[in-house]
Every structure is written in C-alpha cells, then in structure tokens.
Structure 1
Amino acid sequence: MSSSNRSLIALDFDGTMAVGGNPVASVVKLLECGLPRDVVRVVATGRSLASIRESWPEPWPLDYLIFSSGAGLYDCSSRRLCWKRHLKKSETEWGLRLLEAEAIDYMVHFPIPDNHRFFYRRFAGHPDFERRIERYHTYAVAGEGPIELPGELTQIIAIADEERISDKLLMSLSSHYSVIRSTSPLDGRSFWLELFSKGVDKGSGLALLCDRLKIDRKEVLAVGNDFNDLHMLRWAGSAAVVEGFPLSHAYRFHTFPPASEGGAASAVMEWLSSGKSRGTG
C-alpha cells in the first residue's frame, strides 16, 4: 500500500513527448505549470543522460529522469545520480561472443555516467549502424582488434535486419540479459536489440522509483509509443500510447493523437480529469 498522497506520470521521450529530439511545446507547458503539486513528473527514456541533455538542455520541468531504459535514475532537483545498474565485464564478453559468431554489428556502452561513449565492431555495416557511428563519431571507439573492456558496462546494442536475429540467438541472449527491442530513433524504422543487466527495463526502473517514493502503482500513469515502453506500460496502474504504437494489435492501451499533436499531454489531462490521480493541487 502507498503511504504517500502523491501520484506519478512517466512519459517516454522520443516519439511520445518529443519529435525529432525536440520536446513538444504543449507537453513542456503541461509539465511546467499544468499539473497538481502532488504529481511527480518523470521522463523514462532509452537515451543516455548526455544524449537527453544534448536534445533538451537543463533545467527540466521534471522531478526524475529514468534514462538508458532503467539502467540509471537522475534526480532533476539535486542533479544527482540515484542509481546505476551495470553489466559485469564477464557478462558482456559472453554476449559479444554470440553476436560475433553471427557477424552482427554491435556497440558496447561505457559505464554510467559516460555511457554516451561506446566501443563498436562492424561486420555487415548495417545502414543504421553506420548512421549512428557518423552521428556520434566523437564518442565512438572502433574495435578492430581485441577490445579491452572496463569492469562494468551499461549495455550492448545490436543493429541488424530483424530476420538476422534467429530465435535460437534470441533465446540464448534472453537467458542472460534483459533483452529490449526498440525502433531506431535515427530513422524511425530500423531494428535495434538492446541488452542490459538482467531485470533492467523502464518498468523495473519505474517500480524502484515508486518504491523509493512510496507511491502505489495504482497511482501511476505511463505514456509511451514503442516496444521498449512495454514493460512500464504493463506495470503502471494506468497506461496510454500515442498513435503509431507497434503492438496495438496485441495490447489494448488507450490511444491518443501522435506526439506532434500533443497526444501525451492529452493522455495526462484525461487521466487527471478522470480522478485516477490523487493530485489535488
């Protein structure tokens, strides 16, 4: 049971409250001045802390940022990291051997807070893989020979055509990692497979935060738009998606207009007006 009188909203960033990396004005205005004081404001993103800062400079009208799909939590008021959840070096090396055996392009991200930096190894040279290296070339380190990994890492990203990821490979990876499918934020189409330490995802990050704040999941609204939002959408007491959610055939979440039309703001306002939030101003 919750011992708090607060409720919480958790919004995905890319494709939900932001378009092309730019936050939608109506959503920002709502976060700034349109919510009761008792509503905790959270963005849950797959981006690193550095990446979100690059697109949306601080200060933010937020209380917390769940970043890197739940691997990290940032307190926006104190500007301090609350937690970091990493892969061990041995865990990472095991997965890389599997990907290399299948000649799948991959990137390995440094530990938080430097996880905007990454090693990469190229096999097929998938177009979106090349696009990501070009965009973040300042932070990219090519792994032409054996890669000397640090003791902890944040995640592995494999970029390939979806048919290259066999069921056998997916089952092997799922036995060792939290495996999160996502759509590329660069071209909006390409298939990414993200590997984190077991148990890391946006839903578990949201659960840990709510436990810390003593907020019951029944008092939580999650709004998303893609595969990597599914864990938090299923965990939250209330859930909504903006138009274009790829799993709408399997999950009957309430659907709102696309991000560009402020669908996330509409979802929050409807939730508030329905009385599902405890926030009273």
Structure 2
Amino acid sequence: MNYFRRMQTNGKVKLVATDLDGTFLKNDQTISQKNLESLHLMGENGITRVAATGRNLQKTREVISSNIPFDYIVFSSGAGVFDWRTGELLYSQNIPAETVNGLSEYLIRNQWSFHLFKPVPENHYCWYFRSKNVTPEFEQYFKFHNSFAEPFPDCTAVNSEACQFLVIMPNDIAIFEQLKENICRTFPDLKIVRTSSPLHTPYIWMEIFHEDVSKGNGVKFICEKEQINPACTMGIGNDYNDLELLEFTRFSYLVENSPEELKRRFSVTKSNEENAFSVSVSIHL
C-alpha cells in the first residue's frame, strides 16, 4: 500500500466499480436509463468506470454491448482485466496445470460433479465431469452451456492451466465449509468463493480460482495502472463474490436485494430494480 500512500487525493471519487447481475443490471438483464445516464455523466467528470463481474468475457458481451461506456471489465471474478475501449486483455491469472490435475483427481475420486473452465481469455469453453451424485442444477447449467463443453478426459488429467472450477452443491453451508476446508488444506494456492445461484434456486455455487484472483485485486490492478488512490474509489455489489471488491473500495454499497447476512457489513442502498447504481453514484458526483 506504500505506492498508494504516495499518491495525492482531494477526496473525490475517481473510480467506480460495479457488479453486473443483481446490481447494475435489472432482473431482466437490461440497463435502466438512469444507470446509463450515470455512466455517461461519470465519463464527463473524468471518473473511471469499471464493471466487475463473475461472468466470463463472452457472457459479459451478452449483456454489455460495445457502446456501453465502461472503461474496464474485471471479468471471471478477477481472473482477467479487459480494456473495454481498446479491446486489449491487460491481465489474466489462471490455475497452474499441476494444481488443476491434482484438484480434478480429488473431486473425481470423491464423486463431485464439476465444470472446469479453460484458461483466460477462452474460459467460456470448459470440461465437465458428471458424477453419480449429480444435482439437477448441474444438469440445468450443462443444458445452457453444452455447446461450449466437452467431457473430462478419461485419464483424469487435462495437463493445462485453467481459469476456474465450478462445483454446484445443495444449499447446506456445512457441506460447503467441509469441502472448502479439505481443498484448502491440500491446495493452499487456491481461493474458494461462495456465490448464490444466479438461477435463483436453493443451491450453493463453489467457484475455485488461483489464490490471487478477486474482484478487489482486479480493481487494484486498474488503480495502479491509472494511478488512482483507493481512497478515491467506490464499489457496489450484491453477493459473496463482491466482498473483496467492497473491502478494497473506500465507499462501498450493497444493494437491497443482497443476502441479509452481508448487509451489516456495508452501507445498503436501493435494489437493482430501483436504480441502485445511479442512486449510489449520485452521492459522489
């Protein structure tokens, strides 16, 4: 943080980072007129605009067209940083092949179904393993993504870096915590993130990344590039995978539609259906 302490700041917000689904986007995945107007106003005021999302780059493009005035996209929960203006991939962090092979073998041996996403930026493609304990949500996810998926090799090794693992499990936090503990004990170079099901079903999604991956680290990378002090940043999100982003930014907001257990940690603003992004940004313009 010494680098940032040397920076001068007048206290004004110079960077805003927002989650997409359930935060910036409405429930139908469209952008409200007020949120769009706020993006343009931020640009006029010289504020760096960042979308920080769990979506991969291809799925981000499905909801954010090229004319939407973001400056940067932190995608796949921080596994990659993309310059939205120039189309340049600026940063990526994948899981090393040795760890990929080791964790794949562990999950298969313990009959955990999973998707394994290929290295950034091609991480909309994936391998999948279907165990005898497969959940209905796994099958639903597979149905949506089967054109980009291929079966996990019979040799139980892909011998490749990978962006992330996705394990879908019943909504039982004890099961989640036990699997997390077992994985972290054996693979200390990994980070495990809990996310709510975007399908709005009673399942927990366990996302497994390289230990350095987070939305917060992605935004930190942009701050260093743009020489912006974290004291001049604002973040807004709605779920567990936004926590490190909101811990990094100086002014941090959770939308009203966030899990109740998170709301006591940050300021709560309107819901995503009530222009939460625009309402929060207006405080700092």
TM-score, normalising length from structure 2?
Answer: 0.88
1:75 aligns with 2:88: no
Q: What SS does the aligned partner of 1:136 have?
A: helix
1:262 aligns with 2:275: yes
The alpha-carbon distance between structure 1 residues 196 and 247, as it changes in their structure 2 partners (threshold 3 A), is farther
Correspondences of 1:225-240 after superposition (within 5 Å): 225-240=238-253
| Farther off after superposition, 41-50 or 182-191 | 182-191
The alpha-carbon distance between structure 1 residues 20 and 105, as it changes in their structure 2 partners (threshold 3 A), is farther
Q: What SS does the aligned partner of 1:186 have?
A: coil
1:193 aligns with 2:215: no
In angstroms, what is the RMSD of aligned CA positions?
A: 2.1
* Residue number in structure 1 paired with 2:197: 184
1:112 aligns with 2:120: yes
The alpha-carbon distance between structure 1 residues 24 and 91, as it changes in their structure 2 partners (threshold 3 A), is farther
- Structure 2 residue aligned with 1:140, among 146, 149, 152? 149
Letter of the 1:104 partner, please give it: W
Whether contact under 8 Å (1:12, 1:223) holds in the other structure is yes
Contiguous gaps of at least 5 residues in structure 1: 273-281
The alpha-carbon distance between structure 1 residues 40 and 34, as it changes in their structure 2 partners (threshold 3 A), is closer
Q: What SS does the aligned partner of 1:14 have?
A: helix
Whether contact under 8 Å (1:10, 1:222) holds in the other structure is yes
TM-score, normalising length from structure 1?
Answer: 0.89
Q: What SS does the aligned partner of 2:20 have?
A: coil
* Residue number in structure 2 paired with 1:14: 21
d(CA) in 1 for partners of 2:17 and 2:236? 6
Contiguous gaps of at least 5 residues in structure 2: none
* Residue number in structure 2 paired with 1:278: none
Whether contact under 8 Å (1:65, 1:73) holds in the other structure is yes
The alpha-carbon distance between structure 1 residues 247 and 208, as it changes in their structure 2 partners (threshold 3 A), is farther
Pairwise CA distance, 1:144:
6.6
Correspondences of 1:41-80 after superposition (within 5 Å): 41-80=49-88
Letter of the 2:16 partner, please give it: I
- Structure 2 residue aligned with 1:210, among 223, 233, 242? 223
* Residue number in structure 1 paired with 2:106: 98
Count of residues in correspondence between the two structures: 272
The alpha-carbon distance between structure 1 residues 34 and 83, as it changes in their structure 2 partners (threshold 3 A), is closer
1:165 aligns with 2:175: yes
d(CA) in 2 for partners of 1:156 and 1:98? 12
